[in-house]
Amino acid sequence: MLTLIWLRGLLLHRAARLAAAAVGVAAAVALLASLGAFLTSAKSTMTQRSIDRVPVDWQIEGDPSIEPALHADRRFTDLRRVDFADTAGLEARTAGQTLTTGAGQVLGLPSGYAAAFPGELRSLVGGADGVLLAQQTAANLHAAPGDTVKVQRAGLPAAQVRVDGVVELPSADSLFQKVGAPVGAQPQAPPDNVLLLPADTWHRLFDPVAHARPDQVRTQFHARLRHALPADPAGAYARVSGSARNLEVRLAGAGRVGDNLGAALGAARADALYAQILFLFLGAPGAVLAGLLTAVITGSGATRRRTEQALLRTRGATRRTLLTLATAEAVAVGVVGAAAGLGIAALTGRLAFGSAGFGATPATTAYWEGGAVVAGLVIAVLAVLIPAARDARHGTVASARRQIGAARRAPAWLRYGLDLWLLVTAGAVFWAAGRNGYKIVLVPEGLPTISVSYWAFAAPALLWAGAGLLTWRVTYWLLGRGRPVVARLSRPLAGGLADTVAATLSRQRVLIARTVALAALTVVFAGTTSVFDATYRHQALVDAQLTNGADVTVTESPGAYVPPGEARRIAAVPGVGHVEPLQHRFAYVGADLQDLYGIRPTGFSAATELQDAYFSGGTARELIGRLARRPDAVLVSEETVKDFQLRPGDQLRLRLQDGRTRQYRTVVFHYAGIAKEFPTAPRDSFLVANADYVAAQTGSDTVGTFLVTASGRSPHELAANLRGRLGSGAQITDLDSVHHVVGTSLTAVDLRGLTTIELTYAVALAAAATGLLLALGFTERRRTFALASVLGARTRRLGAFVWTEVAVVTVGAALMGGLAAWPLSHMLVKILTGVFDPPPAGLTVPWAYLGLVVAIGLIALLAAGAAAIRAVRRPPLTVLRDL
Amino acid sequence: MSPVVLEATGLYRFYRAGEEETAALRGVTLRALAGEFIGISGPSGSGKSTLMACLAGLDEPDGGTVRIEGTRLSHRPEGERAALRSRLVGVMFQSGNLIEHLTVRRNIELAQRLAGRYDPAWQAELLAELRMEQRADSRPSRLSGGETARAALAVALATHPAVVLADEPTGELDAQTEREVLDLLRDQTEQGTVVIVASHSAAVAHAADRTVTMLDGEIR
Amino acid sequence: MNTLVELQDVARTHGSGSASVVAVHGVSCRLESGDQVAVTGASGSGKTTLLHLIAGLDRPTTGSIRWPALGGHPLSEPGQVGLVFQGPSLLPPLDAADNVALPLLLAGEAPRPAREKALEALASVGVGDLAGRLPEELSGGQAQRVAVARVLAASPRLIVADEPTGQLDSPHALTVIDLLVDAATDLGATLVVATHDPRIAGRLPRRWAMHDGTLREDETCSP
C-alpha cells in the first residue's frame, strides 16, 4: 500500500522525470530487440541460402541394391540414381585432326536429372539432355554439338557417342567428391574431363565394364531432403548431419553419405556466429550508451532523491522501505521504457523491413524481445536502484541529510588512473589476439560444435571504455588546470566575462566532463559502426567484383573466336564506361591444367578493383607493374611456387594450346609474383600473364571475357541492355545479381538492415547525448543564469556562458571521439577480420553519414543552447520563485 | 506530578572536519514531563540542531542516552531507531517536511503507514483541527507559507507521537502565522504530548513553558 | 529631490481564471532618490510582488510604473539596481570575489579594476578574508554579507532587499541591515527593504505596511 501510494504520486506528479528515464531504457530495449530480431532473421536467411545453394543435398554412394531401401525412406523428397565410370580418355575428330584428352569420368544421369537438381548442370551450348560434354572437355576436344566423341572403356573397345550439348558443372567439387573421405582429408580435385550420358546409354556402354571391372564404376543416389529444418544454421547442421549418420548406420556399411547440405550448413553456422558477434559488438555499446544516458537522467534528480530519502527516514522508514520504494520506481521506469522500446522496435521493423518481426518467426522474436526487456529492466534497476541504495547506506539520517548537495570531488577512478589502465589492457589484449591471428570463431576439427573466443572482444570494449574515461579526464583536467587557456579561448565568445565564464566552467567540470565523455562515446559508436559497416559493404562489393570481374562481365562462348576489337562494339552500347578485354585460356603447369588470364597491365585497373590482398610479395600496383615491364612475366599461385620451388625471375614453362594448330605447345614465362585472387578466376590455382605475349606466342588474340564498367546506369540495367544488343552468344553477368548469389560468407547476408538500425540509433543517441545532457546541465544551472540575469546580465552576456559550454562540448566530443574512433575502427576490423572476404586493404570512411551525425549533434547542441537562452529570457523572477 | 516522557542524559556529539574536531554537544542533559512545551534558543552553531537530531533519533550521540517513554532510542541499529522514531517522535523542520509529489493527505497517510498504524479517522480529525480540509488534496508546491507549516505539523502529529520536535518551524513565517503555528503546537500539549521547539524567535520563548539556552554545545 | 520611481494605481494578478491571486492592487506610491523604506506585512500580503515591481523584475497587470531618474527602466542599463534576496543569491560556481565583481563585469568594466572594487567592497562589509571562498563554504550570515558587498560594489541607484535577514538570527540580522542602511546612505541610493521583523523595520526611517495587497504609510510603528 505504501508502495502504491508512492508510485501513484510519482506517476501523477513526476511523470516528466520518469518519462525521461524511460526514454533511455526504451532506446536500449528498442535497439536490442530490433537487432535481435534482425539477427534471427539473418540466421534463418543463412540457413535458407545454404539450402538453396546446395544442388544435391546428399550423395549416397554404395551398392545399387540399397535403392529400394532409399526409396522407402520418407526423409527424401527426390532421389535419383547416378552412375560414374572411369575412362582413360576421350577422342574427337574435328576439321581433319584428332584431339585426345587425358583420363576422365563418364556419368550416367537419369532423365529429368537437370530439372530435379538445377544447380548441378548449366547448359552452355545445345540441349540440356542427351550426351553432354563439360565446358573444359569441349574446349580441349574442340567439340561442338553434333560432333562425335570416342569414349575409352577399360577392357573393352572404345564406344562412340554424338554430342548434344556443352554444359558447365558449377558444383563439380561436390559432384566428384570422394564420399566417405575422412574429416580433414585433402579435397579431391574434380576430373579434368567429364562426359555426361543418359542413363540408358551409360548402362549400354558401361554395364559390361561394371561386370568385368567393378572397380571402374560406382553408383550414387542423389537425394533432396525435406527441408523442415531449424532456422538457426547450427541447429539445422546438427539435424542434417545427425540424420546422415543415422542413414549410414541403417545402411549397415552398404552406403555412405556425402553430406553436401551438412557441409554448407556447417560453413553457415560459423557465419551465423560471426553475425552474432557483429550483433554483440555493434549493439552492445549502443545499449550501454543508452543505459549511461538513463543513469545520467536519473542522476540529475539525486538531490531531490536524497531529500526525500532523508524525510522518509525521519518519518521512520527503514532502509528496506527505501529500497522497496526505489525498486518500485525502477520497475515503473523499466516497464514503461521496455513497452515503449518494443513499440519502437516493431515500428523500426515495419519501416526498415516491412514487417514488425524483421521476417523472424514469432517465437524467436518473442525470445529476443524477452531478452531486450530484461536488459531494459536491468538498466532501470542499475540507474534508479543503485544510487538509491548507495544513498540509503548512511548510518544515521543526520549524516544522510548532511550529504544533500555535498561538494563534488574527483571520482575515484580518475585518481587511480583507471582510464589509462583500461587503455593499456586493451592494447595488451589486442596484441595477444593478434598473435593468435585474430581467430575468434573456433571450429575445432572433428567436433560438431563451434565456439567464439569472446575474450578477443575485451580489446575494443576496453579501448572504448578507456577512451570515454580518458575524454573525461582530459576535459576535467583542461577545465581545472587549463582554466587560463579556456579563458583565453573563450574570449571571442565571452569578451570581458571570459575569466568568469572559465571559472564557471571550471566549477562545473565534473558535469561538463561527463557530458563530453558521453558525447565522445556516442561519436565513437557512430564512427566505428559506420566505418565498419562501410568497410564491410565495400568488401562485399569487392567480393562480388572478384567473382564477377567488373560491374558487368561479358563471357564469350568457349571455342568462339572473339578479337579484342569486339570491345568497340560493346563500348558503343549506352551506359558503358570502360571495356577491358581479358583473355581466358587453359595452360598445363606440369601435369596440372590451370586457368590462364591474359591482361593488359596498363588498362586493367580501370575496369576492376585490384586489392593488395589479392597478391603476395608486393602491392597490386607493384605486381601489375612487373607484368607491364616484362612481357613474359607471369603471376602464379602459391601452390605452384611451392610445387616448383620458384624464385623471382625463374623460368616457367607452360603448355598452351596454339590457336592455329590446336595443339599444345610450350611457351616460356618468367615467374614475377604470387596472385592469390583475381577477378573471375577460380579459387584454386591460376596464372596471370600479359595478353599481348600470350597472343603472340599462341597465334591467337581471342578474348574470353570483357570486363565492362557501368556509367550512369546500374550494372543490372546495363547487363540487360548489353544482352539486347549483343545477342545470346555471350553470357552476360552483372555485379548486382552476383552480389546476391555469392554465398561463401557473411557477404551473402544483406547487412543493410543491421546497419540501418544501428546508424539510426547512433544518430538518435548522438542527438540525445549532446543535446539532452547539455540541456540537463543548463537546467541544473537555471538558478545561476536567473541570478546572473537579475544582476543585469543581458541575453547576449548569458549567451557567453551557454555558447562557451556548447563549444567546449562540441570540440571536446568531436576531437576526442574522432581520435578514439580511428584506432577503434582499425581494431574492430582487425579483430573481425574473419568476417571479411577478402580482408580489406584499408578502412572505408562514410563521410556523408559522419557528416550527418556531426550535423545532427550540432543541431542538438545548438537547440539545447538556444533553449537555455530562451529559458533565461523568461522573466527571471518566475524562475527564482520556482527554485 | 506528570511522568517523565523524554529523558536525555549527558549527550556528547563530535564532528570531525579534516584534522579539526568540533564538539557540537558537550554533556547536554534535558528532561521533559508530559504536556511540557520547551523552547530551545541560542545563536547559530550553538548545537540546537544537533541536539534536536539526537533527541529525534536522527543522529547518534557519541556519548549519553536518549529515552522516550522509557524506551532507549540511542545506541541502536538504524533500523530499530527508525521503527521507534516512527511511533514515538514527530519531527518538523523549517522546510522540506513534505514529499513533493504526494498530496497533503497522502503525506499524512505515508507517515502513518511507515509507522504501521494507518488511521483515517485521526487523519480527518487532524486535517479539520489544522484547518487543512480544503487543501488536503493539494500538492505541497501549491500551498502558501502558513498552509505548508500546518501541513508539516499534521504530518508530524500523524502517528500520535509522544514527542514533537520542531527545528526552526517558523523561520520563514510572518509573525501572525508564527503565532498560529505555535498555538497549534501548544494545543498538542493538552493531551500530554511533549513539544520541543528550537528557534531563535522571541515568540517561541514567549509561548513555551520554559526555555533553555544553548551556547557552544552546552545548556546555559 | 528627484523622483526615482513612481507607481500609479498598480495591480498585479498572478495566474489566471479561478486560480488567479491578486497579489497587489490599487497601489500608488513614490520614492525619491535617497529614500530608505521598510515594507512590512504578513506573508502573502504582497510585499515581494511590490518589490519585484519596483525593481522592474515584474510588470503590473494594470496601472503604470515610471522610473524618471533611471532612464525609463531600472534594467535599461546594468548596475542601476542592486538586489538582495532572502535565500542564497550568490552564483554557486563563482567564489565570493567573482560574485561581487560579476555585476561590474556585466556593466562593461574591465576584469582587473572590477576585481579590485570587489575586494574593496568585501573588506568594507568585513568579509575581506573570504574573497576566495565558494558560496557553499560560507555560512548564511557570511553569504548575506557578500551579497551586500555585491550591491555596494556596483554603486546602484536603487537597492531592493527582500527579507534580507530572513534566515539569520537576530545579532547577524541587525548587522546585515545596518550594513545595508550605511551603504545606501554612503551611495545616496534609494533603499527598499521588505521584512516582517519589526526590529529590522525599525532601523529604517520610513515604513510602509502591506495588507492584503494594499499599501499604507505606517508611521505609527516606532523604532
- Interval A168-227: pLDDT, tens: 888 888 888 888 776 556 667 778 889 999 999 999 999 998 888 888 899 999 999 988
- Which of C45, C170, C196 is opposite residue B200, by nearest beta carbon? C170
Each residue of A54-84: pLDDT tens digit? Answer: 889 999 998 888 888 888 888 899 999 999 9
B99 is a domain residue: yes
Q: What is the pLDDT of residue C119?
A: 92
Instruction: Check if the beta carbon of residue B166 is closer than 8 Å to that of residue B204.
Output: no
The residue ranges of every structural domain in chain C are 3-80+156-217, 92-146
Each residue of A347-397: pLDDT tens digit? Answer: 877 776 655 544 556 676 788 888 889 999 999 988 888 888 887 776 666
Residue A404 has a CB neighbour count (10 Å cut-off) of 16
The residue ranges of every structural domain in chain A are 1-56+230-406, 76-225, 474-548+742-883, 557-729
CA A786 vs CA A644, B127, C5, C50, C91: distances in Å: 84, 37, 24, 19, 9
B20 is a domain residue: no
- How many CB pairs below 8 A link A and C? 72
Does A712 contact chain C (CB < 8 Å)? no
Phi and psi angles of residue A494, each rounded to the nearest 5 degrees, phi first? -105, -15
Q: What is the pLDDT of residue A545?
A: 79
B138 is a domain residue: yes
Residues 6+ apart with CB under 8 A from A405: A303, C136
B67 is a domain residue: no
Does A483 contact chain C (CB < 8 Å)? no
Q: Bin A405: left if φ > 0, else alpha if -120 < ψ < 50, else beta.
A: left
Q: What is the pLDDT of residue A85?
A: 93
Residue A848 has a CB neighbour count (10 Å cut-off) of 9
Helix or strand run (H / E) with residue B167: strand B163-167
Banded model confidence at residue B44, pLDDT cuts 50, 70, 90: low
Read off the C-alpha cell for B119: 488511521
Each residue of A287-344: pLDDT tens digit? Answer: 888 888 888 888 777 777 888 888 888 888 888 888 899 999 999 999 999 999 999 8
Contact criterion met (CB < 8 Å) for B83 and A316 = yes
Decide which of A605 and C53 is more confident.
C53
CATH number of the CATH domain containing B102: 3.40.50.300
Contact criterion met (CB < 8 Å) for B44 and C41 = no
Each residue of A628-654: pLDDT tens digit? Answer: 888 888 898 888 888 888 888 888 888
Q: What is the pLDDT of residue B195?
A: 93
Read off the C-alpha cell for A739: 552480389
Burial class (CB in 10 A: 0-12, 13-18, 19+), A516: buried
Task: Give B 28-87 residues with CB within 8 A of chain A.
Answer: 50, 53, 56, 58-60, 78-79, 82-87
Banded model confidence at residue A404, pLDDT cuts 50, 70, 90: very low
Contact criterion met (CB < 8 Å) for A316 and B59 = no
Instruction: Check if the beta carbon of residue C35 is closer than 8 Å to that of residue C181.
Output: no
| Residue A422: DSSP 8-state | H
Is residue A193 classed as helix, strand or coil in its secondary structure? Answer: strand
Q: What is the pLDDT of residue C221?
A: 40
ipTM (interface pTM): 0.88
Q: Give the closest residue to A234 by CA, choosing from A453, A449, A452, A439.
A: A449
Pairing of strands B194-198, C3-14: unpaired
Chain B residues whose beta carbon lies within 8 Å of the beta carbon of residue C144:
none
- Which of A5, A304, A314 is opposite residue B91, by nearest beta carbon? A314
Q: What is the pLDDT of residue C196?
A: 76
What's the mean per-residue pLDDT of chain C? 82
- Which of B53, B100, B114 is opposite residue A316, by nearest beta carbon? B114
Closest CA–CA distance from residue C216 to any residue of chain A (Å): 25
B interface with C, Cβ–Cβ below 8 Å? 43-45, 144-146, 171-177, 200
pLDDT at position C75 over 90: no
* Tally of domains within chain B: 1
What is the chain A residue with the closest CA to B83?
A316
Alpha-carbon dihedral angle through residues A166, A171, A173, A179, given to the nearest 10 degrees? -110
Banded model confidence at residue C16, pLDDT cuts 50, 70, 90: low
DSSP one-letter string for A329-393: HHHHHHHHHHHHHHHHHHHHHHHHHSSTTTT--HHHHHHHHHHHHHHHHHHHIIIIIHHHHHHTT
Contact criterion met (CB < 8 Å) for A316 and B139 = no
Q: What is the pLDDT of residue A184?
A: 58
Does C103 contact chain A (CB < 8 Å)? yes
Share of chain A above pLDDT 90, in %: 12
What is the Cα–Cα distance from A820 to A464, expressed in whole angstroms? 8
Angle between helix axes A752-767 and A319-353 (nearest 10 degrees) is: 130
pLDDT at position C22 over 70: yes
Does C43 contact chain B (CB < 8 Å)? yes
Chain C residues whose beta carbon lies within 8 Å of the beta carbon of residue B174:
41-43, 45, 196
| Residue B56: DSSP 8-state | T
Pairing of strands B20-33, B71-72: unpaired
Read off the C-alpha cell for A662: 590446336
Give the HSE-up count for residue A156: Cα atoms under 13 Å, Cβ half-sphere: 20
What is the Cα–Cα distance from A43 to A274, expressed in whole angstroms? 10
Q: Give the closest residue to A649 by CA, choosing from A671, A681, A617.
A: A671
Q: What is the pLDDT of residue A82?
A: 94
Task: Quote helix, strand, coil % in chain A, to nearest 5.
Answer: 60, 15, 25
Q: What is the pLDDT of residue A611?
A: 81
What is the Cα–Cα distance from A558 to A136, expressed in whole angstroms? 8
Each residue of A123-157: pLDDT tens digit? Answer: 888 877 889 998 888 877 888 888 899 999 888 88
Q: What is the pLDDT of residue B20?
A: 60
Q: What is the pLDDT of residue C128?
A: 86
Q: What is the pLDDT of residue C166?
A: 65
Residue with cell 522518509: A312
Chain B residues whose beta carbon lies within 8 Å of the beta carbon of residue A9:
99, 101-103, 106
Provide the CATH topology of domain C3-80+156-217.
Answer: Rossmann fold (3.40.50)
Read off the C-alpha cell for A364: 524467436
Decide which of A793 and A799 is more confident.
A799
Contact criterion met (CB < 8 Å) for C58 and A507 = no
Instruction: Check if the beta carbon of residue B166 is closer than 8 Å to that of residue B159.
Output: no
B188 is a domain residue: yes
Each residue of A506-515: pLDDT tens digit? Answer: 888 888 888 8
Each residue of B153-168: pLDDT tens digit? Answer: 999 999 889 999 998 8
What is the chain A residue with the closest CA to C55?
A790
Instruction: Check if the beta carbon of residue A228 is closer than 8 Å to that of residue A165.
Output: no
What is the Cα–Cα distance from A286 to A522, expressed in whole angstroms? 8
B1 is a domain residue: no
What's the mean per-residue pLDDT of chain B? 86
Each residue of B171-210: pLDDT tens digit? Answer: 667 677 788 888 888 988 888 899 999 887 778 888 889 9
Does C92 contact chain B (CB < 8 Å)? no
Decide which of A421 and A453 is more confident.
A421
Does B154 contact chain A (CB < 8 Å)? no
Closest CA–CA distance from residue C80 to any residue of chain A (Å): 9
Contact criterion met (CB < 8 Å) for A13 and B101 = yes
Chain C residues whose beta carbon lies within 8 Å of the beta carbon of residue A793:
78, 102, 106
B21 is a domain residue: no
Each residue of A499-552: pLDDT tens digit? Answer: 888 888 888 888 888 888 988 998 888 888 888 888 887 887 787 778 777 888
Residue with cell 504536556: B35
Contact criterion met (CB < 8 Å) for A792 and C108 = no
Decide which of B145 and A645 is more confident.
A645
Q: What is the pLDDT of residue A403?
A: 46
Q: Please provide the size of chain C in residues.
A: 223
Read off the C-alpha cell for A49: 541460402
Residue with cell 574446349: A139
- Structural domain boundaries enclosing B86: 36-59+77-215
- What are A582's strand-pairing partners? A705
Banded model confidence at residue A753, pLDDT cuts 50, 70, 90: low
Closest CA–CA distance from residue B47 to any residue of chain C (Å): 14
Q: Give the closest residue to A258 by CA, choosing from A401, A56, A65, A453.
A: A56
pLDDT at position A472 over 70: yes
Helices of type H across C56-139: 96-106, 111-124
What is the Cα–Cα distance from A240 to A124, expressed in whole angstroms? 33
pLDDT at position A746 over 60: no
Is residue A245 classed as helix, strand or coil in its secondary structure? Answer: helix
* pTM strictly above 0.80: no
Helix or strand run (H / E) with residue C160: strand C158-162
Q: Please provide the size of chain B in residues.
A: 220
Closest CA–CA distance from residue C34 to any residue of chain B (Å): 28
Burial class (CB in 10 A: 0-12, 13-18, 19+), C116: middle
Least confident stretch, A39-43, A239-243, C76-80: C76-80
- ∠ CA A634-A640-A642, nearest 5°, is 125
What is the Cα–Cα distance from B99 to B107, expressed in whole angstroms? 7
Share of chain C above pLDDT 70, in %: 89
Share of chain A above pLDDT 70, in %: 90
Contact criterion met (CB < 8 Å) for B177 and C42 = yes
Positive or negative: CA dihedral B186, B187, B191, B197? negative
What is the Cα–Cα distance from C29 to C50, expressed in whole angstroms? 11
